[in-house]
Amino acid sequence: MTQGSSQPPAGRRAHRVVVVVDEGTNPFEVGVATEVFGLPRPELGLPGALYEIVLCTTRPDVRMNHGFFTLTGVPGLEAADTADTLIMPGRPDHTVPRAPDVLAAVRRAHARGARIVSFCTGAFALAESGILDGRRASTHWQWADAFRQRFPAVRLEADVLFVDDGDILTAAGSSAALDLGLHLVRKDFGAEVANSVSRRLVFAAHRDGGQRQFIERPVPTVPDESLAPVLAWAQGQLADSLTVAGLAARAGVSPATLHRRFRAQLGTTPLAWLTGERVALACRLIERGEERLDVVARRSGLGTAANLRARLRRETGLSPSGYRQRFGPAGPADSAGAGRFPAAAAARTP
């Protein structure tokens, strides 16, 4: 199997994503990386991909998980030294230590300021390298106890889909790799571009909650308690004065019951979910060209420009003006994000 290539959009050097393919790597997670970061984006009016993607391997012929196929014709591990973002996919034999040269490549990339990403049990490799000590991280819930025993210095968060700890980001499982990939696209190019990529993937641009909703547990004997109807209704009413009591009344339950259902199904509280939806709407309004902060605050339900500034900075690390500058409407030479993302410094931007 020979690696393909993707062309960066015209007028800029693309951010380089390098995926380390080790012996026994899960091919699904390699596919996630190539699908999210490597495909051309004609739906965005671009001649090429948003990123440049390169696979690299530890040997000329690498057997994938369970020997499904062998990967050949791919650059060697030295390609990791050119990464703006370095991705470590998972593999099922997480108890087998990674090769020293793989761990050394991770350390070098981190030391020079590259963004480091792991999918599923790829977090074990990052922890083996030492770069996760004292840092927040996630891995698959099934291996959380084993991870904690091996790496007590890492602050494992086992009930989330992914953890963004600035320059190191870790996804909990294989499908959560899609969540994290879209999160990176959102950080790099804004919510509108991420939404477009998610539509092509036929995958939710943002899944609320965490992996606790996928942990094995007895099938409940109670009637359907899905939050979907009240969530869909609330998303259409964000500009209104929604309250937890109002959401509970809409769902036909008490506020305490609503809290329990949010915790069980989404891994968050009703108020935190509502605030997140409002910030996401505010981001979309800014990206679409609305420059009046009072209008953005009112239409998103955040109330005041001061609250908008505080919430946006907390969620994105940017002020409204900074967010507009980075993700606002493209000019004639800046279509669909091309040119907004500094190629060399991008991986170093939290």
Q: Is the pLDDT of residue 346 over 60?
A: no
Query: DSSP letters along 176-215, please?
Result: HHHHHHHHHHHHHH-HHHHHHHHHHHTS-S---S-GGGGS
Domain ranges of the chain: 15-201, 222-329
| Cα(3)–Cα(105) distance, integer angstroms | 21
| Cα(304)–Cα(210) distance, integer angstroms | 30
| Cα(265)–Cα(242) distance, integer angstroms | 20
- Residues found in the chain: 350
- Pick from 14, 106, 115, 37: which is nearest to 350 by CA? 115
Q: What is the arithmetic mean of pLDDT over 260-265? A: 84
Q: What is the arithmetic mean of pLDDT over 22-46? A: 86
State residue 227's pLDDT score.
83
- Pick from 123, 116, 118: which is nearest to 94 by CA? 123
Helices (H), 35-92: none
State residue 347's pLDDT score.
31
pLDDT per position as a tens digit, 104-146: 999 999 999 999 999 999 999 999 999 999 999 999 888 899 9
| % pLDDT > 90, the chain | 35
CATH superfamily of 15-201: Class I glutamine amidotransferase (GATase) domain (3.40.50.880)
State residue 42's pLDDT score.
81
Decide: 54 and 79 in contact? Cβ < 8 Å: yes
Q: What's the pLDDT band for 225 if we cut at 50, 70, 90?
A: low
Decide: 52 and 3 in contact? Cβ < 8 Å: no
Structure tokens of 240? 């209104």
C-alpha distances in angstroms, 339 versus 42, 181, 236, 301, 331?
16, 20, 33, 32, 10
Q: Is the pLDDT of residue 8 over 70?
A: no
| Cα(127)–Cα(123) distance, integer angstroms | 6
Which run of H or E residues covers position 170? Answer: strand 168-171
Q: Identify which of 6-15, 73-82, 158-167 has the greatest average pLDDT.
A: 73-82
The residues that bridge with 168 in the sheet, in sequence order, are 116
Decide: 287 and 191 in contact? Cβ < 8 Å: yes
Decide: 17 and 84 in contact? Cβ < 8 Å: yes
Helices 270-287 & 293-300 angle (0-180, nearest 10): 140
User: Has this prediction a pTM greater than 0.75?
Assistant: no
CATH superfamily of 222-329: Homeodomain-like (1.10.10.60)
Q: What is the arithmetic mean of pLDDT over 271-299? A: 90
pLDDT per position as a tens digit, 195-217: 888 777 766 555 554 444 333 33
Q: What's the pLDDT band for 18 if we cut at 50, 70, 90?
A: very high
Decide: 131 and 168 in contact? Cβ < 8 Å: yes
